[in-house]
Amino acid sequence: MIGLVTLFAGVTLAILVTTAGAGPLDAPGYTKSFTCSACHGFAGNSTSGTMPILAGANPGYFKKQIQSFATGKRPSPEMEPYAKMVLELGVDDVASYFAAQTRIPTPVKVDSAAAARGKHSAVTCANCHGPDGKGHPAPTSDAMRLIPSVAGQAPGYLKLQIQAFRDGKRNPGEPLVEEMRTIMKNLSDAAIDDIIAYYSTVK
């Protein structure tokens, strides 16, 4: 009798396990990506004021930046070793994992008046990042496909990247990067702060 009860319990448990459905930790690529959670948040949804959200990132853009970090083309002592780890583990799997995650906009709050001003000033950025900062849903070239969404990113992170563009510290020499650098150098600090505030509030 005890044997039958044990057998029944085992079969029941097996059924429950196989019918429970996959959880967030079962997603393909998670085991190669979970180290990133320490800085970028669970499933790539950073709540930090300076760390970017990776959830929903374009796979091509993600892979390009990983390569740039790993080779030092985009200098970052913090990111370089992790980028090399991602390349070793399988950058395609990691990129696909983050691309499949639902992006949750930053919880960092900004001044609403600045965001309102920024919406008007952001027309300067619309040619590349789209009218709402989410990029082009149907890009016309490979180059356009590699322009990321900036919507919902933390204001501190956006400011750090704009400063890097201005200082020529992000992928120097690339045509699109140099175009971005020129645009950023022609905007006042106040206008940039307003644009950052606007994009960080876009859902």
DSSP string, 22-89: --GGGSTTHHHHGGGHHHH-GGG---SSSSPP-TT--HHHHHHHHHHHHHTSS--TTHHHHHHHHHHH
Q: How far apart are CA 144 and CA 138, in angstroms?
A: 9
Express each pLDDT in 93-119 by its tens digit: 999 999 999 999 999 999 999 999 999
pLDDT band at 179; cut points 50, 70, 90: confident
- On the question of pLDDT at 23 being above 70, the answer is no
pLDDT, position 137: 57
For residue 90, give Cα distances in angstroms to 80, 97, 106.
15, 11, 28
- On the question of pLDDT at 169 being above 80, the answer is yes
The domains found in the chain, sorted by start residue, are: 24-99 (1.10.760.10), 112-201 (1.10.760.10)
Q: How far apart are CA 168 and CA 73, in angstroms?
A: 11
Q: Stretch 147-156: mean pLDDT, rounded?
A: 94
**Cα dihedral: 107, 147, 134, 53 (round 10):** -20
DSSP letter string over 6-24? HHHHHHHHHHHHHHS---G
**40, amino acid identity:** H
For residue 198, which of 107, 110, 108, 105 has the smallest C-alpha distance? Answer: 110
- On the question of pLDDT at 2 being above 70, the answer is no
Q: How far apart are CA 54 and CA 163, in angstroms?
A: 20
Q: Stretch 62-91: mean pLDDT, rounded?
A: 95
Express each pLDDT in 34-76 by its tens digit: 999 999 999 999 999 999 999 999 999 999 999 999 999 999 9
For residue 156, give Cα distances in angstroms to 50, 53, 178.
5, 12, 22
Residue 111 in contact with residue 25, Cβ under 8 Å? no
Chain-wide mean pLDDT for the chain? 85
Q: How far apart are CA 135 and CA 142, in angstroms?
A: 13
Between residues 7 and 155, the one the model is more confident about: 155
pLDDT, position 172: 82
- Lowest-confidence segment of 10-24, 80-94, 168-182 by average pLDDT: 10-24
φ, ψ for residue 17 (rounded to 5)? -65, -45
